[in-house]
Amino acid sequence: MYRNQYDSDITTFSPSGRIHQIEYAMEAVKQGGAAVALKSKQYAVLVSLKRSSSELGSYQKKIFVVDDHVGIAISGLTADARMLCNFMRNECSNYNYVYESQIRVERLVTKVADKHQVHTQRYGRRPYGVGLLVAGFDQLGAHIYQTCPSGNFYDYKSISIGSRSQSAKTYLEKHFESFEECTLEQLITHGLRALRETIPNTDDTLNSKNVSIGIVGEGQPFKIIEEADAQPYLNLLENEEPVEMQTN
Amino acid sequence: METLKLSALPEKDKQQPISHGRFEAYVDNGGTVMAVAGKDYCVIAGDTRMSDGGYGIQTRKYTKVFQLTKKCVLATSGMQADTIALQKRLKSMLESFEKEHGKPMSTPAIAQFLSNTLYYKRFFPYYTFNLVAGVDEQGEGWIWTYDAVGSHERVKYSSQGSGNQLVIPLLDNQVAKFNQQIVEGNKDVSCEQVVSFVKDSITSAGERDIYTGDFADIVVVDKNGVHWEKFELKLD
């Protein structure tokens, strides 16, 4: 992207009707580590690739619990993501306090999108440089949403964001019609295969250190599967062997 | 000659303002709660009667014991509205804590947290008389007793509520072994014996206190979790 005359302020439109600052914010999302989201009738699954700054460092957390029925995967500026995560947790907690029930996923995502929008229209405040994949389960079933720094949000059957996500999207487009009837293990396996497409050939493959899985669904509160717990699912990729699923 | 005056009210009332009486923010819905700690367990009991402050019963099924975590319960007597508000507040804060810290709040931390929460409303208190009971990270039984504004103390046994004055002397004598003519000496008591004793105590409170009765929740907290039992009291 080349520099434009009309891109230094969030409050300035370009002659072609675009706000370049928002588009630059969305670039930050595209640079982040890949994340994949997909859903069946009863479950929504998030799978993400964790990055570490060096061999000495730990891997950056990518999936967060928001409430029993909602979790998010992030791509972009992690610090911004933390703020949004806390905001979402507070909103869920407040809603539960007032209405004694869980907030519907679309309603929560709308609040996040509105928060993004405020930062696209006020001088002196930059947009959040992070995109979220929201996985949730409520009375209307399983949901996958994507939020953007622009303030838009999208309802998806499955989606991928972040670095080299186009390869994952290609995989998802080939297989998404079968997701509706998949079991949880099959769904996670699809997610891992899609995620594998995003790794450049020169890098490590998927391993228990750099993969993070989040699941939520009917009777399944949002849970993060990482490190040693993720190994059985990674083995599924290699061996195509069934694994005993822990239910709670 | 007297002139005939037509007026809706007698004359002298026109001079004085009509007195409505102050708005009373608090009501005592009655009931008794008690707890006894063993070495690695706690037994908590709370009756389930809710009165209207007088002779009426509003419900026989209002549970005064509230589970906070897998290792801790809160038993509250006093005003039902404030009790529910306090329980909701604590529950919300505990869930926040768990997300931020990646683990549930420990029982001693909850005890301190309740005290702070109560003192926060020092100048318009929750009309609640609380007992926090549970096991700590090592599995040892703990009980704290509170007043309405958060003054708290860790004890081996306690009771609160309308039947408090009836139950506490019994616990003093039998649990702490105070004032016994023939001193029995300390002997190890099993959880079942303590549960039986607690059932006797709350039954006795129900006999003499009109605000205690109907049913009681007998709750045991140990390292395996929280176990509930419903126990019948008299309905009169």
Better-predicted residue by pLDDT, B207 or A56 = B207
Q: What's the whole-number mean pLDDT along residues A67-94?
A: 96
Provide, as residue numbers in chain B, all residues whose Cβ is less than 8 Å from the Cβ of A83.
none
Copy the structure tokens of residue A112. 């996040």
Q: Nearest Cα to B132, choosing from B89, B68, B38, B200? A: B68
- Helix (H) / strand (E) element for A6: namely none
**What Cα–Cα distance (Å) separates residue B8 from each residue in B2, B13, B15?**
18, 10, 14
d(CA B139, CA B37): 12
Whether residue B96 and residue A89 make contact (CB cut-off 8 A), yes or no, is yes
d(CA A113, CA A68): 21
Q: Nearest Cα to A160, choosing from A78, A47, A61? A: A47
Provide, as residue numbers in chain B, all residues whose Cβ is less than 8 Å from the Cβ of A97.
88, 92
From the CA of B103, how many Å to the nearest CA of chain A? Answer: 13
> In this model, does residue A129 exceed pLDDT 70?
yes
| DSSP SS3 for B64 | coil
Q: How many CB atoms lie within 10 A of CB A113?
A: 18
Q: What is the pLDDT of residue A242?
A: 41
Does A178 lie at the interface with B, CB-CB under 8 angstroms? no
Provide, as residue numbers in chain A, all residues whose Cβ is less than 8 Å from the Cβ of B99.
65, 89
Provide, as residue numbers in chain B, all residues whose Cβ is less than 8 Å from the Cβ of A91.
none
Contacts of A222 (CB under 8 A, 6+ apart): A65, A66, A67, A68, A69, A70, A71, A135, A136, A214, A215, A216
* Sign for the pseudo-dihedral over CA of A114, A115, A119, A121: positive
Q: pLDDT tens digits for B30-43?
A: 999 999 999 999 99
Contacts of A43 (CB under 8 A, 6+ apart): A137, A142, A184, A187, A215, A216, A217, A218, A220
From the CA of B85, how many Å to the nearest CA of chain A? Answer: 10
Q: What is the pLDDT of residue A81?
A: 95
From the CA of B166, how many Å to the nearest CA of chain A? Answer: 36
Contact pairs from chain A to chain B, CB under 8 Å: 9
d(CA A155, CA A106): 9
Whether residue A93 and residue B88 make contact (CB cut-off 8 A), yes or no, is no
Q: Nearest Cα to A142, choosing from A92, A197, A182? A: A182
**What Cα–Cα distance (Å) separates residue B190 from each residue in A91, B132, B228?**
46, 21, 18
From the CA of B160, how many Å to the nearest CA of chain A? Answer: 27
d(CA A187, CA A84): 27
Contacts of B211 (CB under 8 A, 6+ apart): B30, B31, B32, B49, B51, B161, B162, B163
> In this model, does residue A244 exceed pLDDT 70?
no
The 8-class DSSP code of residue A59 comes to: B
Whether residue A93 and residue B92 make contact (CB cut-off 8 A), yes or no, is yes
B133: β partners = B73, B143
Place of tokens 């990055």: A51
Provide, as residue numbers in chain A, all residues whose Cβ is less than 8 Å from the Cβ of B92.
93, 96-97
Q: pLDDT tens digits for B166-203?
A: 999 999 999 988 888 888 777 778 999 999 999 999 99
Give me the count of residues in chain B: 236
Contacts of A216 (CB under 8 A, 6+ apart): A43, A44, A69, A70, A71, A135, A136, A137, A142, A222, A223
Portion 69-108 of A in contact with B at CB < 8 A? 89, 93, 96-97
| DSSP SS3 for A23 | helix
Q: pLDDT tens digits for A182-229?
A: 999 999 999 999 999 998 877 778 888 899 999 999 999 999 999 899
Predicted TM-score of the model (pTM): 0.87
Whether residue A65 and residue B95 make contact (CB cut-off 8 A), yes or no, is no
Directed axis angle between helix A184-196 and helix A231-239, to 10°?
80
Q: Could you give the ipTM of this predicted complex?
A: 0.83
d(CA B172, CA B175): 6
Provide, as residue numbers in chain B, all residues whose Cβ is less than 8 Å from the Cβ of A68.
none
Residue A240 binned pLDDT confidence (cut-offs 50, 70, 90): low
How far is Cα of residue A153 from the mean position of the Cα atoms in its chain?
12
Q: pLDDT tens digits for B6-18?
A: 766 666 655 677 7
Half-sphere exposure in the Cβ direction for A78 (13 Å, CA): 11
Q: How many CB atoms lie within 10 A of CB B112?
A: 15
Q: What is the pLDDT of residue B11?
A: 62
Whether residue B99 and residue A89 make contact (CB cut-off 8 A), yes or no, is yes
Strands (E), A51-94: 63-67, 70-76
Residue B100: closest CA among chain A residues belongs to which residue? Answer: A86
d(CA A197, CA A193): 7
Whether residue B99 and residue A65 make contact (CB cut-off 8 A), yes or no, is yes
Better-predicted residue by pLDDT, B120 or B186 = B120
Q: What is the pLDDT of residue A26?
A: 93
- Helix (H) / strand (E) element for A175: namely helix A165-175
Directed axis angle between helix A165-175 and helix A184-196, to 10°?
140
Amino acid at B75: A
By the 8 A CB rule, do B33 and B77 touch?
Answer: yes
Q: Which residues of B touch A (CB under 8 A)?
A: 88, 92, 95-96, 99
Q: What is the pLDDT of residue A239?
A: 65
The 8-class DSSP code of residue B188 comes to: -
Half-sphere exposure in the Cβ direction for B143 (13 Å, CA): 25
By the 8 A CB rule, do B134 and B110 touch?
Answer: yes
Portion 216-245 of A in contact with B at CB < 8 A? none
Q: pLDDT tens digits for A8-33?
A: 888 888 899 988 999 999 999 999 99
Q: What's the whole-number mean pLDDT along residues B125-147?
A: 94
> In this model, does residue A78 exceed pLDDT 80?
yes
